[in-house]
Structure 1
């Protein structure tokens, strides 16, 4: 994809140089936001996500009052990380002549750069007497440093040795406090009309997290799910219907926001490159919006329960009511509460050739079906498993992640730790060559020291073209691996013996 300039001129018709009336839409009447994700995201990373990550579809309803003829329509307050090449406009009763994404945003550096040639006021304070003086000055340069013309002489800002500040009487007309998307349109007849502006923007993302509380008998869980929204875009969305989409969305790497150029105006004395003596240190200019990466999130807000519906091949979760998503805010909404979801505790062991006794891994197995108390799609995310404590209350039993979305009808395992009382000790008891192949006999001792029965899944990982030549038939033999399921009574021992040839 060819790089796009910050000014997107898509089409210019003859006569574009004629005088054009300006129509300004300061803010939308209504906004709806649908947030996608670049694969499963860890919630802990959301607060540090750079603004180029995440993806949202923003739909704004705006009222325009167009004059007849040619005019410039300015949509102020669009998302700061708008991807202008994706913008569409519905309901406009006019012909679009030209589209522009305007990036001259008001900031200290931009204000100084855009004031070159303009008159400002410089205010200085004598630290010894406290006397304040104010004089007019013309900004002559604002690149690596600021050069002022005062009484016909040039002076670099910050070299006077006194605390000083610049006062601007007005804002240059090319600067705007909010990002602006503008269009040149040609209308046969004027009048008010409602239009819908839709575009993609980055800086908004979401994640899923779950809390699974085991029942006293360990056979079911109370499953609670949270959606976490993160707005790192620098734009505020007020009272907005909000949706999130679960699923792996294909994206074009070239469809990204156009990074606006930003200018720095260091307040250092050009002659020395350091802050002048004789006054307090000059504070640095604020970090440009695009560079704000690791600032603290302002707050975390919790709202009500979301609703799930289908969206083609994806799943759509809608917040229960319109909500405000402030800039640099994280907001949480519950989207799932499913009590009495059946689970099976399984103790798993994978053998790849060692001879040491090891504890088995503890798995909680979900079967995502209505008959098992679930039957709802689960977006990928982290899961904290809580277990009743002997003295009352609950304690953390372990954590894991659903690495991929779990659709209805499939099973999923949560690995929450290792068992102390269930151990597996495999040993190679015989090795020999038969018909040019290496044959190994493995004997596995499985101990259950628990006061109740357990199920153990023992998997022999096969390398190359190996096959089973002796022993009990495994329950599964997928991808070359051999899997046996063994049920052990309380405080019992079992031995599995088999032979494989490679």
Structure 2
């Protein structure tokens, strides 16, 4: 029997008041996006384009809902990602007339017969064939943009609607190319008796789109994603040690099944091709103690080799509890 289940989607679909875009980010290069927009839907059977989506979208995970009209039905769904580029334009114009402008200002016009990564071959009505080295070409000129080429990745639906008008719709999907990790900074006092601990969340977005003023959630835990066997399957695992909590942090933590969910208390903009850092919690002072550790299980020690050179490890420990100003589970 074919199975497709995404346990983590339960977490990310929680509604956040007044947010039109929401994104839940997991540790392992995966995000769940929910986008609510007013869309102009036509009566009857018609197509609807939805752009500004992630280029690394998992097309099998897309879900469309018309919130204003439950009678709107999705008949067909397509993810279009044939984007405008010099390569795409040349491919579409094979056998058609184009113009190439040389770096010396000379114009070359004719039918595009072939091209590769070194040369361009043009022919004219008189049978003359010209081979032009690509490194000598400054610009190309095409009569028009070929049909089917897009400026941005686009979802396209074939809908059947009983009425026309602007309707509020919700689109959700999974995308690769976005991840997060946590980083911690500890400033230790001169006598090693105290430390100031602060935490940061680092988000790396290479998903192919930006998320403006989005409600942001982060998930840590043993995340499992079960997909069709034909496409493979994988498990997403992260251990969650207990580290710190501070007064009035930007993120609020809560347990959700075996996961830990961190919600940013304000909207955030995450641009494409961006590494963003957000304060996980402000600097918190707590007591610490130095602990020296000697590893007597060392093979060299028991065999009498370099016994005077066995290193002693020095660790700095602190109690993770509310009475010390800490006490919240934070991701590794």
Aligned to 1:37: 27
Aligned to 2:112: 139
- TM-score for both structures, normalised by structure 1: 0.52
Residues 306 and 317 in structure 1, CA contact (< 8 A), matched pair in contact too:
no
Q: Choose from 76, 86, 98 the match for 1:120.
A: 98
1:168 equivalenced with 2:142 (yes/no): yes
Q: CA deviation at 1:125?
A: 5.3
1:363 equivalenced with 2:312 (yes/no): no
Q: CA deviation at 1:351?
A: 1.3
Q: CA deviation at 1:65?
A: 1.8
Cα distance between partner residues in 2 of 1:154 and 1:239: 57
Aligned to 1:68: 43
1:246 equivalenced with 2:220 (yes/no): yes
Q: CA deviation at 1:252?
A: 4.1
Cα distance between partner residues in 2 of 1:146 and 1:317: 54
Aligned to 2:156: 182
Aligned to 2:252: 308
Give the ranges of 4+ consecutive aligned residues of structure 1 lying more than 6 Å apart after TM superposition: 253-257
Q: What is the Cα-based RMSD across aligned positions, in Å?
A: 3.0
Aligned to 1:331: 276
1:77 equivalenced with 2:48 (yes/no): no
Q: CA deviation at 1:78?
A: 0.7
- TM-score for both structures, normalised by structure 2: 0.77
Bigger shift: 364-373 or 98-107? Answer: 364-373
> Which blocks of at least 5 consecutive residues in structure 2 are unaligned?
3-18, 232-247
Q: CA deviation at 1:164?
A: 5.3
Residues 205 and 273 in structure 2, CA contact (< 8 A), matched pair in contact too:
yes
Alignment of 1:329-408 (within 5 A): 329-352=274-297, 353=299, 354=301, 355=304, 356-357=307-308, 358-380=310-332
Structure with higher Rg: it is: 1
Q: CA deviation at 1:378?
A: 1.9
Cα distance between partner residues in 1 of 2:39 and 2:135: 52
Q: CA deviation at 1:254?
A: 6.4
Residues 100 and 139 in structure 2, CA contact (< 8 A), matched pair in contact too:
yes
Cα distance between partner residues in 1 of 2:317 and 2:116: 62
Residues 120 and 133 in structure 2, CA contact (< 8 A), matched pair in contact too:
no
Q: CA deviation at 1:67?
A: 1.6
Which protein, 1 or 2, shows the higher relative CO under an 8 Å CA cutoff with sep ≥ 6? 2
Q: CA deviation at 1:156?
A: 5.5
Cα distance between partner residues in 2 of 1:107 and 1:152: 30
Q: Report SS of the residue matched to 2:59.
A: strand
Query: Hey, which of these two has a bigger chunk of helix by percent?
Result: 2
Residues 222 and 337 in structure 1, CA contact (< 8 A), matched pair in contact too:
no
Q: Report SS of the residue matched to 1:81.
A: coil
